[in-house]
Homo-oligomer: A and B are copies of this chain.
């Protein structure tokens, strides 16, 4: 009998080709160990609440009231909810037609799209059109929608930074397109070398692949770098010259841990070039409620904003969005929230209790992340075979691990990538669940791991010293000290 459609042999090959390291072998092993009772520190994915970050109070109060609108009629409501949360909940409920239980328009609620446009205008200093903002169930879904519209087949190439966030490689595989890598320069703090970029496009053309879009991740995942204005300008000019769409993944725009390079959006850089230039780039930028100081990953809220995308194309994207009816409505409230209270341009009036608490909570989270970024970088750099750039932004540390030849051999014997081998041993020894660098792409013979900077501040020193102890033992086992290997003396 011929295989059935859902037998492995007859599945869509593009599905099989996808790789998704963040939830790959390491994650699966970590889940197993957890089931067996081992304490696992899940630093494989940027999931702040899973590592103990508390939700901000105000938005959760608002969403609770929106979910239970009958509470608004309860005479006791003011005992449990501050007046501004009550008011805000009414504001959002009035935007819906039927509350959180009704499908919204497939692009999201008009009122929320308008608030996002206002947020973008405040941020960049240029007006934004709500009609060009689409809400999504997290930024991932938005990226997938846009790539789906762009990619027609294997001759369509997408420039993706290496190391990259695997959402991109996996989605490009799934859609049958071609990933065109460009390498970030570790020795220049993961900056972007324009020569690399040009080479990448030429080499792709040589293979018959036309580059149609370029992805930048700013601040970077897994690298943690913040792109400089100069770099951003070059990128924009390059995309205009090469006639390619720029996809700006700016989900970490509120996660910045240094003051020299604040976040600047690709859109602002474009518009700063003047009215002539600014019409020439097709740009889509992505944002989410999963990151920032919110970290509301489980809510699945995000949006993208399109710049210079023709209306007929917007209609096509709208149609595709319609197939799955509507992004989840509760998360839409969060998206708007962030843009509303998330910036300090539109603060509630003085004396407003929620505002103070919100400020305290959000600043507290960001300040603590900044400290943790520093502790982690320092911890890694204190190991003799580890070098690590400082986490300027985002939520990750991406140290390079220098592995001795014997370790590489042992990995080969075990049938594993050397970095997977290292990370598995780390996991078994310490419970620290990281992602091997090969999941993000890396240069031949160079090994990294990625970890989030999210473990609680008070646990950080212990985690780093547990890492260091493991690393020492690993090196002791595999390092060959020209005759005086530690193991044998």
**A-side interface residues toward B, CB under 8 Å?**
1-2, 4-8, 10-13, 15-16, 18, 20, 22-23, 31, 45, 47-53, 55, 57, 60-61, 63-65, 67-71, 74, 76-77, 79-80, 96-106, 137-138, 140-141, 144, 148-152, 156, 167, 170-171, 174, 212-213, 243-245, 282, 284, 290, 294-300, 309-310, 312-313, 316, 319-320, 322-331
25 A-B residue pairs with Cβ-Cβ distance under 8 Å, sorted by A, are: A5-B212, A5-B282, A6-B245, A11-B150, A15-B149, A15-B316, A18-B319, A47-B98, A50-B103, A55-B69, A55-B99, A64-B64, A64-B68, A76-B80, A79-B79, A100-B299, A101-B295, A101-B296, A137-B300, A138-B324, A148-B174, A298-B326, A298-B329, A299-B328, A299-B330
- B326 with A8: CB separation less than 8 A: no
A2 — which chain B residues lie within 8 A by C-beta?
243
Taken together as a complex, chains A and B put the C-alpha atoms of A105 and B52 apart, in Å, by 17
**B80 x A74 contact (CB < 8 A):** yes
B contact residues around A141 at 8 Å (CB)? 324
Sorted nearest first, the 5 A-B pairs with minimum C-beta distance are A298-B329, A49-B98, A5-B212, A300-B328, A49-B101
Q: A63-B67, A80-B74, A328-B328 are in contact. Are A148 and B12 (CB under 8 A)?
A: yes
Provide the residues of chain B in CB contact with A152, threshold 8 Å.
Answer: 10-13
In the complex, which residues of chain B have a beta carbon less than 8 angstroms from the beta carbon of A97?
50
Contact of A67 with B64 at beta-carbon distance under 8 Å, contacts A138-B325, A310-B8, A324-B137 already known: yes
Bound form: Cα–Cα A169–B102 in Å: 24
Q: Which residue of B lies closest to A175 (CB)?
A: B12
A65 to B81, CA, bound (A): 12
Whether the pair B71, A174 counts as a contact (CB closer than 8 A) is: no
Interchain CA distance A449-B97 in the complex, whole Å: 24
Q: Is the CB of A144 within 8 A of B99?
A: no
Q: Which residues of B contact A18 (CB under 8 A)?
A: 319-320, 323
With a cutoff of 8 Å between Cβ atoms, the chain B residues found around residue A53 in the complex are: 98, 101
Q: Contacting A80 at CB < 8 Å: which of B10, B20, B47, B71?
A: B71
In the complex the two chains form, is B71's CB within 8 Å of A64's CB?
Answer: yes
Q: Across the interface, do A102 and B297 meet the contact criterion of CB distance under 8 Å? A: yes
Interface centre among A18, A64, A148, A149 (most CB of B within 10 A): A64
State in angstroms the CA–CA spacing of A98 and B45 once bound together. 13
A6 and B150 contacting across the interface, CB-CB below 8 Å: yes
Contact B298 A50 (CB under 8 A): no
Whether B327 contacts A15 by the Cβ 8 Å rule is: no
Q: How far is the CA of A325 from the CA of B282 in the complex (A)?
A: 27
* Known contacts A15-B148, A299-B329, A49 near B99 by CB under 8 Å: yes
A268 to chain B, nearest CB (A): 20
- The answer to whether B68 touches A60, judged by C-beta atoms less than 8 angstroms apart, is yes
**Nearest opposing residue in chain B for A106, CB measure:** B23
Chain B: minimal CB distance from A17 (Å):
10
- Cβ contact of A6, chosen from B1, B310, B327, cutoff 8 A: B310
**Which chain B residues border A140 with CB–CB below 8 Å?**
323-325
Residues of B within 8 A of A51 (CB): 98
Assembled-state Cα–Cα distance A326/B23 (Å): 11
Q: A8-B313, A18-B323, A300-B329 are known contacts; what are 9 more A-B pairs with Cβ within 8 Å?
A: A23-B319, A23-B322, A50-B97, A50-B102, A67-B330, A104-B298, A144-B323, A167-B323, A300-B328
Residue of B48, B79, B144, B151 near A324 (CB, 8 A) is: B144
A245 touching B4, Cβ below 8 Å:
yes
Residues of chain B contacted by A213 (CB below 8 angstroms):
5
When C-beta atoms are compared, the residue in chain B nearest to A23 turns out to be B322
A47 CB to nearest B CB, Å: 5
Distance of A98 Cα from B296 Cα, bound (Å): 10
A58 to chain B, nearest CB (A): 10
Q: Which residues of B sit under 8 angstroms from A65, Cβ to Cβ?
A: 64
- Please give me the residue from chain B that is nearest to A45 by CB atom: B103
User: B5 contacts A244, CB within 8 Å?
Assistant: yes
- A331 — which chain B residues lie within 8 A by C-beta? 328
Residue in chain B with minimal CB distance to A283: B6
B100/A298 in contact, CB under 8 A: yes
Taking the nearest CB of chain B, how far is it from the CB of A447, in angstroms?
Answer: 23
